[in-house]
Amino acid sequence: MPESTAARRPAWVARLLTRDAALIAVLVLVLVLASAALPRFASPVTVGYLLLNAVPVLLLALPMTLIIITGEIDLSVASTVGITTATIGSLNLAGWEFLPAVLVALLVGVIAGAVNGALIAFVGLPSLAVTIGTLALYRGLTLVLIGDNSVSSSQYPEGFTSLINAKVGATGIPIVMGFVILAAAVFIIVLHATPFGRGLYALGFSKEAATFVGVHVPWAKFWLFTASGLVAAFVGVFWSTYYSARSDSANGLELTVIAAVLLGGVSIFGGRGTVIGALTGVLIISNINYALRLQRVPDVVLIIITGSLLIVSVVGPSVVDAARRRIQRARRHRTRPLAEARGIDGA
Amino acid sequence: MTLVDHRTRSLRDRAISLLRLREVPVSVALIALVVVTALLNPRFLTAQSTKDLLLNATIVMILATGQAIVIITRNVDLSVGSILGISGFMTGTLFATVPGIPIPVVFIIGVLLGSALGALNGLLVTVAGVPALVITLGTLYIYRGINNAWAGGREYFSGDRPRAFGDLSVDTVLGFPIITLIALLVLLALAVVLAGTRFGRDFYAIGSDPDAAKLFGIRVRSRVFSAFVINGALAGLGGVLYASRFSSVGATTGTGIELDVVAAAVVGGVAIFGGSGTVVGAAIGALLLTTITSSLAALRVDKFWQQAVVGMLILAAIIIDRIAALRTARRLRVSEARDA
Amino acid sequence: MEFLRKHGSSPRRRLLTFAATGTVAALLLSACAADAGGEAGGGEGSSEGASISFIPKNLNNPYITLELSGAKEAAEELGFTYAEAAPLDAGADSQIPFIQTEVQNGTQILAVSPNDPDAVCPALEDARAGGAKIITFDSDSAVECRDLFINQTSVEGVAAGQLEQLFDQIGGTGEIAILSATAAAPNQNAWIEAMIQQIEESDEYEWDLVATVYGDDDDTKSFQEAQGLLQSYPDLAGIISPTTVGIAATARYLSTSEYKGQVALVGLGLPGQMKEYLDDGTVQAFALWDPSEVGYLTAYAGKALLEGTITGAEGDTFDAGKLGSYTVGPDGLVIVGELLKFTPENIDEYDYISF
């Protein structure tokens, strides 16, 4: 980062903004290229399909971003989605109405998240290990709950399923996106406009720093994981009405979410990343995938592209940074041989 | 303090430190599980069942051994399932397309292939200085994609492979299947290297504090790189053994095994943030996790409960580990206070 | 990556605003531009050059590769533009984007094996609205979402055939178990249900069905489940595994264990994969159909639908090339044929069911 910027505002702010801008530029580029190359891509039909398919990952990316910013991780989200769909499905089989079943499912999601949160925040266990455990546990309980049954959306009142598929006028944008935007707004405000949110960045750098700026570290972690469970439960509700409730609902989705969030510039070390970046990451992956599928490019190529994007998006900046630092150091040595060549090291 | 006093205390300390070994809780759990299951269902310990238990654990054991080394250096490798898949399919392809290829050659090729893929992980992690979780999540996708592209809808069945190769996972020596013996040899060698050599202890130093390790003059990058290569080689070996044991190898072989492997290491007392744990512990963790599945089946516990039990076990393992760590820390504080 | 090098030169002021407008612009761009996709041509008469797309449960699986080989063969005979697309795993969510993109590509005949019978419906309805003909094969969607369902053989036939093969080996008594694919697989559950019903209704079948376990169509898991069955049920007389992955894994386990020849194994298996177990005596008989015929018939049914020869109503008949003539049954169901039963005597006649 050139000196002038670093002087005007904290280096990490500038870095976040430029990274987001770059990501959005990439997204726009992908959209323009796909629209130009594929006549059928730019249509309300694409918008509708693509966004609806992306809803689960978009939603799950929100709490995941905050959690990764604090230096933790939640691998159990997909299993939490599974257990909440199984709750709705099995209650439906037991003769419950849809809405009460949804309320119970949301409660189940909150409890699942709170269990993670309590083990991580108050017992002090590493989140990676805890959530590998609950990944297996919640998926196991999903199986216990729903067994070999499959409860499809046709079981629920017509209104809910048509609401899920409803679009805003002729734009093709699904009504459900309203909820996603609302949820995103909440997370953006919490992360970027409250002391709590700013404390999360501090937490990502060090616990002591966070305590110093007034964050109660255990409670912050506890609420983050509980929020993750709640959001996963909402995804579970969406899943059971858009797809169905089965023992394998959302199996393996956690890696997709994490890959998208990391691609969106959230640092796995914590302390760096934005909600907008993460959401852009999700949209970049889903747009590329959708465009390539329209061209009938096999899925094999898609997963290779996803993997490569992920690696390039983290290796790229680190290589560029290293190169820039070297150039800068060389330049400083030329002009002021004794000056310190340190001080702009980021996360 | 008298001399006698001193000696008894050191004996007691030694006993305590033995109990504090990270392998102890997991071994106790394993023994308890086997004993309880065998009491309830005597068939659990027949020759056939014991052989099956060992065979089931073998491949995850090998992978967990490698993973333990990577985790000890404060890294992780999520791409092992994909590496195993490629190596397994390579094994199937070699036997089907090169008639009469000697079995050791296939082993060597599988291990080399795995090492190469592991080396790529290691290079990306060390040279770019990027977290292993991200890199190996990426290569998990890439290697799996390559495996899919290569295999397509093809699968090689056990009928395509020489009988002698399949027999490696059928024949036993002293009750131990041959592939299990291979795994135990590898495990033993690595355990000795890790505990008894400078090279091995460097891994712990790096995992405990990478910066301090660097200050001490340890070549951190080269050590971390070699951890990934060793892990890749073991995943490659796992792929060859997979082809010997199971009926088919194809595009999806080994999918999703990475979380089992990490879980086995964690259950076996390898701390997820590096610096502590042993390969033996990880291997016992793998044995425990696979035995759980078998013993739940032997006890006729509802199929649907099995995965939930595995989840609870993982949580129990890390909680026990945490309690043990807290105790140790307290004792250290107390003894420091006493010495001061 | 080019974009990452732009760090230094990208605008730094009001970037969040830019971010918001950028996203909105991107959405509007794709929302407002161009036409609505999916204009499939209906119309009666010749179907030469029509487009047909096959969307199986997943790709890279020998059974599906076989099915698609028949589909490709028929498409070539008919002069169709053939395409195939599917996810790598058989999840409910992963298959739907493939249907959606085929809808947008304006494919005229859409042949799908739904991983989830209801979740595929909105996309299939969109395809229909665009004039496409919808056929399900191998597994069915909700009846109202498709024109025809091409099934290998009747659910009752599959169940009865396997039970008969088991009866021939162990008689009508003893403990038996089922090793299935995933707990949520619709085909498997339909077959298992039919088997249970037939056992209950028959006077000859006095078996005690002690367990149903799930190998998730995963070699490793199926293998361990087979082994778990034998350990927990010492008196087990027979195992039925109505899945090609499950039966092969179980056979592999039996052939390497002391239970070889002691426990009967029947089910649905691929001849190429199972031959060695017939030869070494682990298995005496198993069954399947020719998967390629399923694909082949599906393509011909598509032609008949597209040309307007049939509508999918009960009693409609159509020509299916080398397979002869077929009649549509109730609910648009077309049955490809009988269950093929393989034994050591006839296995060599069927080695064409391979790839």
* pLDDT tens per residue, range C25-37: 444 444 433 333 3
* Residues in chain C within 8 Å Cβ distance of B52: 227, 231, 257
Q: Does C64 touch chain B (CB under 8 A)?
A: yes
- Among A26-40, B124-138, B300-314, C248-262, name the one with the lowest average pLDDT: B300-314
Q: Which chains share 3+ C-beta pairs under 8 angstroms with A?
A: B, C
- Among A16-30, A54-68, B1-15, name the one with the lowest average pLDDT: B1-15
State residue C16's pLDDT score.
38
- Among A90-94, A268-272, C264-268, name the one with the lowest average pLDDT: A268-272
Q: How many CB atoms lie within 10 A of CB B13?
A: 11
* Residues in chain C within 8 Å Cβ distance of B290: 224
pLDDT-derived band at B339, boundaries 50, 70, 90: low
In a 3-state reduction of DSSP, which class is residue C286?
Answer: strand
Is the pLDDT at B5 greater than 70? The verdict is no
| Contact assessment for residue B203 and residue B222, using Cβ atoms and an 8 Å cutoff | no
State residue A338's pLDDT score.
44
Residue A178: which of A189, A164, A157, A192 has the closest Cα?
A: A164
8 Å CB contact of C36 and A252: no
Name beta bridge partners: C209: C176
Q: What's the distance, Cα to Cα, between the start and end of chain B in Å?
A: 16
What's the mean pLDDT in A177-194?
A: 95
* Residues in chain C within 8 Å Cβ distance of B159: 273, 275-276
> What is the spatial distance between Cα C11 and Cα C18, in angstroms, rounded to a whole number?
9
Residue A9: which of B117, C141, C12 has the closest Cα?
A: C12
CA angle, corner A238, sides to A237 and A241, nearest 5?
90
* Residues in chain B within 8 Å Cβ distance of A149: none
Is the pLDDT at A340 greater than 50? The verdict is no
Q: Which residues contact B25 (CB under 8 A, 6 or more apart)?
A: B269, B317, B320, B321, B324
State chain A's mean pLDDT as an integer: 86
In angstroms, the Cα distances linking A140 to A40, A86, A135, B53 are 42, 11, 8, 22
State residue B251's pLDDT score.
87
| Contact assessment for residue B301 and residue B96, using Cβ atoms and an 8 Å cutoff | no
CA A47 from chain centre, in angstroms, equals: 20
Q: What is the pLDDT of residues C140-197, one digit of tens each?
A: 988 999 999 999 889 999 999 999 999 999 998 999 999 998 887 888 889 999 999 9
- Match 């239970």 to its residue by tokens: C259
Q: What's the distance, Cα to Cα, between the start and end of chain C in Å?
A: 41
In angstroms, the Cα distances linking A291 to A296, B224, B288, C59 are 9, 39, 46, 19
Which amino acid, residue A292? Answer: L
Provide the CB-side half-sphere exposure for B133 (13 A, CA). Answer: 20
Size of the B and C interface in Cβ pairs below 8 Å: 98
**Which helix (DSSP H) or strand (DSSP E) does residue B305 occupy?**
helix B303-339
Provide the CB-side half-sphere exposure for A170 (13 A, CA). Answer: 5
In a 3-state reduction of DSSP, which class is residue B189?
Answer: helix
* Residues in chain B within 8 Å Cβ distance of C59: 152-153
Q: Does C252 touch chain B (CB under 8 A)?
A: yes
What's the mean pLDDT in C245-252?
A: 92
What's the mean pLDDT in A234-239?
A: 96
Is the pLDDT at C14 greater than 70? The verdict is no
What's the mean pLDDT in C16-44?
A: 41
What percent of chain A is modeled with pLDDT above 70?
90
Q: What is the pLDDT of residues A104-153, one digit of tens each?
A: 999 999 999 999 999 999 998 989 889 989 999 999 999 999 988 888 88
Is the pLDDT at C83 greater than 70? The verdict is yes
- Match 């070297």 to its residue by tokens: A326
Is the pLDDT at B157 greater than 80? The verdict is yes
In a 3-state reduction of DSSP, which class is residue B174?
Answer: coil
> What is the spatial distance between Cα B92 and Cα B146, in angstroms, rounded to a whole number?
16
In angstroms, the Cα distances linking B212 to B70, B208, B215 are 18, 9, 5
Q: What is the pLDDT of residues B178-227, one digit of tens each?
A: 999 999 999 999 999 999 899 999 999 999 888 888 888 889 999 999 99
| Contact assessment for residue C322 and residue C307, using Cβ atoms and an 8 Å cutoff | no
* Residues in chain A within 8 Å Cβ distance of B135: 311, 314-315
Tokens of A179: 């909820």
8 Å CB contact of C183 and A148: yes
Greatest mean pLDDT among B225-229, B246-250, B304-308: B225-229
What percent of chain B is modeled with pLDDT above 70?
93
Size of the A and C interface in Cβ pairs below 8 Å: 188
Q: Does B250 touch chain C (CB under 8 A)?
A: yes
- Among A89-98, A221-230, A337-346, C72-81, name the one with the lowest average pLDDT: A337-346
Phi, psi (deg, nearest 5) at residue A151: -110, 115
Secondary structure of chain A in HEC code, one letter for each residue:
CCHHHHHHCCHHHHHHHHHHHHHHHHHHHHHHHHHHHCCCCCCHHHHHHHHHHHHHHHHHHHHHHHHHHCCCCCCCHHHHHHHHHHHHHHHHHCCCCHHHHHHHHHHHHHHHHHHHHHHHHCCCCCHHHHHHHHHHHHHHHHHHHHCCCCEEHHHCCHHHHHHHHCECCCCCCECHHHHHHHHHHHHHHHHHHCHHHHHHHHHHHCHHHHHHCCCCHHHHHHHHHHHHHHHHHHHHHHHHHHCEECCCCCCCHHHHHHHHHHHCCCCCCCCCCCHHHHHHHHHHHHHHHHHHHHCCCCHHHHHHHHHHHHHHHHHHHHHHHHHHHHHHHHHHHHHCCCCCCCCCCCC
What's the mean pLDDT in B276-302?
A: 87
State residue A13's pLDDT score.
59
In angstroms, the Cα distances linking C333 to B294, C119, C128, C287, C345 are 42, 20, 18, 22, 33
Which amino acid, residue B145? Answer: G
- Residue C259: DSSP 8-state: T
Q: What is the pLDDT of residues C45-55, one digit of tens each?
A: 577 789 999 99
What's the mean pLDDT in B231-240?
A: 97
Name beta bridge partners: C247: none
In a 3-state reduction of DSSP, which class is residue C175?
Answer: strand
CA C167 from chain centre, in angstroms, equals: 27
Q: Does B158 touch chain C (CB under 8 A)?
A: yes
- Match 């004794």 to its residue by tokens: A338
* Residues in chain C within 8 Å Cβ distance of A41: 30
Residue C213: which of C252, C248, C239 has the closest Cα?
A: C239
State residue A323's pLDDT score.
78
8 Å CB contact of A171 and C23: no
State chain C's mean pLDDT as an integer: 83
Interface with chain C: mutation pick from A243, A262, A286, highest number of C CBs within 10 Å:
A243
What's the mean pLDDT in B244-271?
A: 87
8 Å CB contact of A139 and B307: yes
8 Å CB contact of C231 and B170: no
Tokens of A3: 């000196």
Q: How many CB atoms lie within 10 A of CB A38?
A: 20
> What is the spatial distance between Cα C37 and Cα C327, in angstroms, rounded to a whole number?
34
State residue A343's pLDDT score.
38
Distance from CA of C149 to the nearest CA of B (A): 24
Decide which of C220 and A288 is more confident: A288
Strand C325-327 and strand C317-319: pairing?
A: antiparallel
